[in-house]
Amino acid sequence: MAARELTDMTHDVLPGASADGRVRRARARRDATRRALVAASARVFARVGYLATSPQVIAEEAGVTRATFYQHFAAKADAFSAVLDDVVDRLQTAVLGVDLGPQAPTPLQQLTNNLLRVLDILLGDRDLARLLLTEAAAAEPQVQLRAEGFFGSVRAMIRDALLDGREVDLVRPVHADLCAHALLGAVKAVLIARLEEADGQADGQVQSALARELLAFCLCGVASDALRAAVLAPVGQG
């Protein structure tokens, strides 16, 4: 039997199979285009700033038409929101729960590793970090609100981490919301200071020292007696 005849019979027997395949391929292409637009948006926003960015420039950066941009986003503010959502997803993936199993690293080391992964995301692309921390404040009100929502999501992650830490006696009883505000403020201030330095992207050793100091500062306000001793002992020895 000829291959063409076999194909035709397959279509007759499974009329929905080919259609389903086309739908999946179309969805995959659409998802890939959206990812390309989000990545292009992040690059353009970081390079020229939000106000100077246009949908046309984003489309050209992504290698698609302006019409394709509008198939995915109603305006550049929506593209900016998608960039923020992408960063939140990466942060949520980077921050792992503390494992108290006998073979796990110490809680302090796990917290340090979490912070290092967060710093890698936020300082690994300094232009993007600058966009999130400073540029959004100068943008239109809709974008300012979306940026506030981004930091609200991060603050909620910190609050949940404090509550989880309280459950396993790594964190003393605290006002979780208030402490989350304070901790986020401290982290943002440190990141902005790093962005203003002219030494380029920090190497691994500098990044580790930054994580250690920042974590020690934050934990001294929320840690249980046992964890506070673990944090402060190495500092006192230095």
pTM: 0.71
How confident is the model at residue 137, as a pLDDT? 66
Q: Over the Cα atoms of the chain, what is R_g?
A: 23
Q: Where in the chain is the domain with CATH 1.10.10.60?
A: 1-73
How confident is the model at residue 1, as a pLDDT? 45
Which of 187, 236, 177, 185 lies closest to 214 in space, CA to CA? 187
Two structure tokens written together for 3:
């291959």
How confident is the model at residue 56, as a pLDDT? 96
Two structure tokens written together for 80:
């900016």
Q: Which residues of the chain have pLDDT under 70?
A: 1-19, 135-139, 198-204, 232, 234-238
Q: Where in the chain is the domain with CATH 1.10.357.10?
A: 76-237
| Domain 76-237 class, CATH top level | mainly alpha
How confident is the model at residue 34, as a pLDDT? 95
How confident is the model at residue 6, as a pLDDT? 40
Outline where the chain has alpha helix (H).
3-13, 15-48, 55-62, 66-72, 76-94, 107-124, 126-133, 141-167, 176-196, 204-222, 225-237
Number of C-beta neighbours around residue 6 at 10 A: 10
How confident is the model at residue 7, as a pLDDT? 45
Output the CATH code of domain 1-73: 1.10.10.60
